[in-house]
Structure 1
Amino acid sequence: MTHQNSRNSKSSFPFIHQSRRHPTRRRFLQFSAAALSTVALSNCARNTLNQQSTASSPVAQTDSKTLYLYTWADYSSNELYQRFRDKTGIQVIADVYDSNEMMLNKLQAGGGDQYSLIFPSDYMVRQMIDSQLLLPLDQSKLKGFDNVMDRWKSPTYDPNSAHSIAFNWGTTGLLYNTKVVSTEPTDWDFLWQNRDALSGKITLLDDVRETMGAVLKSLGYSYNATEPAQIEAAYQKLLELKPHLASFKTIGWEDQLISGDLAICMAYSNLGSLLPIENPHLKYVIPQSGTSIWTDTMAIPAKAPNVEAAYAWINFVLEPENAAYAATQLKLGTPNKAAFELLSAEVKSNSSLYPSAEVVKAGEGIQPVGDAINLYEKYWTEVKSA
């Protein structure tokens, strides 16, 4: 399911193409049946109205008043796009993806000249820089970069923000049903310590780097370990838990957790913040030993057709009022310190969205691990088939 609002006519709102790939963390911001049916109906109407307004259209190469985005499904907000159009006169047309790999594959297959702005995650930024797929940013064209929090001004994945600007961020943790689990989990090891009592009621993310990273962290290693012995130790520990898992699943477990058929699920802070609003018996916790601190960014493809419109969007988002609006609309953490001050006290105190400095310090961003990825994938395949 996607975080998308009801769409109106072609003349007023952009065409947004809904991808059909398997959902990831970005596709569960709206999870009710009513919301899903509304999205489905609006998507059908939208596609019928504007069959030609795709990012592969030649107009993407020449139209200076249109910004073609390739973005996460739940970052597509007509309200936000209309706000940008009202300010700049530039219309937004968006295609959406649900994994970094899907986005990368499309750009590598020749789609880099179709889009003027993309939203890669931290580790993918590094990979795309190394592959020369991103345009170096002209710092003189950026307005409001001083508003970015220090952590994201020169991140390890992109020193000095030379190719990307942080857009949103979040964490990975455990979401549990307090009616089923009476003792609050404090760390990843809770799953192993209580595996018999929770057997068949646990889910982990269907994501090799996140799940293997969490196991590595529980062993005292880095999320980004490259030592073969450490990766193997994580594999062996994950094998111990495997018989007690209901599944590896990133999305689709919500109703079971709410009802109590599941007890505890590895989840991203998006859902960890949203689900408890209507289901107060659910609670999201960030493991004390540390977790992944993920960041999604704004970047310009090396062959972008409308670079100036891309800078207009980046500068629009860097404005505190717009950054705060985007964070409120998309229910994600903002890396803009001036925007953070504009948020309501309730939002700022939401530890699921804005954890303490100590929690953030203990976390890690997922980084490329070089050739070690082959070992991760080998063990991941083995543990899932065990």
Structure 2
Amino acid sequence: MKKTTTLLCASLSLSVAMAAPLASAKDMVISIWDGYMAPDVLEKFHKATGIEADKSLHATNEEIMGKVMASGGAGYDVLFVSSPFAEVLQQQGLLAAIDPAKVPNLKNLYPEAKALAYDAGNHYSVPYTWGTTGICYRADKLSQAPQSWNDLLKPSDAVKGKVTLLATDRWLLGAGFLANGWTVNESQPEHIKAVRDQLIETKKRILSFDDTTFYSKLASGETLMAHAWDGWCNYGTQANADIKFMVPKEGSDLWVDTMVVLKNSQNLDAAYQFVNFMLAKENHAWVAENILYKVPNQAAMEGLDKELLNQYPNLTTPPAELVRQELLRDVGGSTQKAYTRAVTEIMAAQ
């Protein structure tokens, strides 16, 4: 999950005026998060295929969804979006079918990546990165490793004021849902309210809500435990080898970032060639090697340097174990609004 995003899987009946899609004289336009593919990949793609592409950056899923929903997808060819947003785009009839004959490198995907419930068979989306969420912690400063979401939500006196939680609603509320034995895609109002109330109490015992700098706080010793995405915990490990990652005993979520092709693309063949190019072993391996996220590409993962895997053990999580976590799904507009309202109330509470 590109973590500059906020995973708000709303109905996306957006009424605000959005910027027009990027105009391009090149063969196609790709919209992606900053730093999410190799800097020279478009140059390499052009050399390999003769196709020129423009890169348009979006900071959040919501930003690109607003533009695409407002324009019907005109002006874009390939999008990188998180899987619940791919679900919404498909429901709105905005996605082209993935033609396996034109994307032969689908063969590089793990079998588990071809059977994800939101799009089993990769009919309209291609997984690009995947991972889970858990606890990132200082193994050298805790008497024992954390075991449960409650180690974060009900921090002991020993770590009071030295804990951070993610602020993004799906993960903040998800930790509370899982701690209570509920689904990460919870929709029952009474469960949302109960977790809201619990997190208002938790807020009194933590340092902060932090989506972006938690790993540096761990490295400096300002915090001892952080609610964290697995890939971002690796940034902490990069700075301090005593920073470890674990998935709580209650389980966690499975997040997936995807590539999708717009139905209104005027360059469908070029778009399919780009998706296929990104699934090539060496191109997909760059993601794991440089942004330290797991990729669902068996050929790419099996070719990673053993030293890298030893340094970042969560990169070695087997797909069969990863997919045992609960897949984040689109929860619909009314539930998403309830999530947003609950998190707003948590942040406003004194």
Note whether the superposition's TM-score is higher than 0.5. Answer: yes
Written as runs of structure 1 = structure 2, the 5 A alignment for 1:226-305 is: 226-305=187-266
Change beyond 3 A, Cα 1:90–1:104 = same
Residue 147 of structure 2 contacts residue 248 of structure 2 at CA under 8 Å; is this kept in 1?
A: yes
Describe the superposition over 1:344-380 as per-residue Cα deviations: whole angstroms up to 9, x where unpaired.
2234554322324574244112111223223222222
Q: Which residue of 195, 198, 213 corresponds with 2:174?
A: 213
Structure 1 pair 287/98, CA: closer, same or farther in 2 (3 Å)? farther
2:147 to 186, 196, 199: 186
Task: Pick the aligned partner of 2:23 from 57, 65, 70.
Answer: 57
Whether the aligned pair in 2 keeps the contact of 1:158 and 1:164 (CA below 8 Å) is: yes
5 Å matches for 1:50-199? Answer: 56-59=22-25, 63-64=26-27, 67-110=28-71, 112-199=73-160
Say which of 328, 338, 342 aligns to 1:379.
342
Q: Percent of aligned positions with the same letter in both sequences?
A: 28
Aligned to 2:294: 333
Is the 8 Å Cα contact of residues 125 and 158 (structure 1) preserved in structure 2?
no
Shift of 1:197: 2.6
Structure 2 matches for 1:365-376, cutoff 5 A?
Answer: 365-370=327-332, 371-376=334-339
With 344-353 and 126-135 compared, the bigger mean Cα shift is at 344-353
Alignment of 1:11-50 (within 5 A): 23-24=4-5
Residues of 1 paired with 2:319 and 2:78: CA distance? 31
Aligned partners of 2:136, 2:130: CA distance in 1, in Å? 18
Q: Which residue of 2 aligns with 1:10?
A: none
Which of the pair has the greater relative contact order for Cα pairs under 8 Å at 6+ separation? 2
Residues 153 and 80 of structure 1, relative CA distance in 2, 3 Å threshold: same
- What's 1:355 paired with? 317
8 Å Cα contact 2:21-2:67 kept in structure 1: no
Aligned Cα root-mean-square deviation (Å): 2.5
Q: Does the residue aligned with 2:117 lie in a helix, a strand or coil?
A: coil
Name 1:43's counterpart in structure 2. Answer: none
Asked if the contact 1:179/1:260 (under 8 Å) is kept, the reply is no
Q: TM-score, normalised by structure 1?
A: 0.79
Any gaps of 5 or more consecutive residues in structure 2? Answer: 8-19
Which amino acid is the alignment partner of residue 369 of structure 1? V
Contact 2:112 2:323 in 1 (8 A): no
> For 1:354 and 1:288, how far apart are their aligned partners in 2?
19
Distance across 2 between alignment mates of 1:147 and 1:356: 15
| Matched residue SS, 1:176 | strand
Separation (CA, whole Å) in 1 of partners of 2:60 and 2:89: 14
- Structure 2 CA distance for partners of 1:76 and 1:316, relative to 1, 3 Å: closer
- Report the AA paired with residue 163 of structure 2: I
Shift of 1:86: 2.6
Q: CA deviation at 1:69?
A: 1.0
Secondary structure of the residue aligned to 2:97 is coil
The AA in structure 1 aligned to 2:304 is L
Contact 1:25–1:251, Cα closer than 8 Å, also in 2: no
Q: TM-score, normalised by structure 2?
A: 0.86
- The residue type equivalent to 1:115 in the other structure is Y
Are 1:222 and 2:183 matched, yes or no?
yes
What does residue 163 of structure 2 align with? 202
Supply the distance in 2 between the matched residues of 1:194 and 1:266 (Cα, whole angstroms).
12
Aligned residues: 334
How far apart in 2 are the matches of 1:362 and 1:235? 26
Alignment check: 8 A CA contact 2:95 2:263 kept: yes
The letter of the residue matching 2:316 is Y
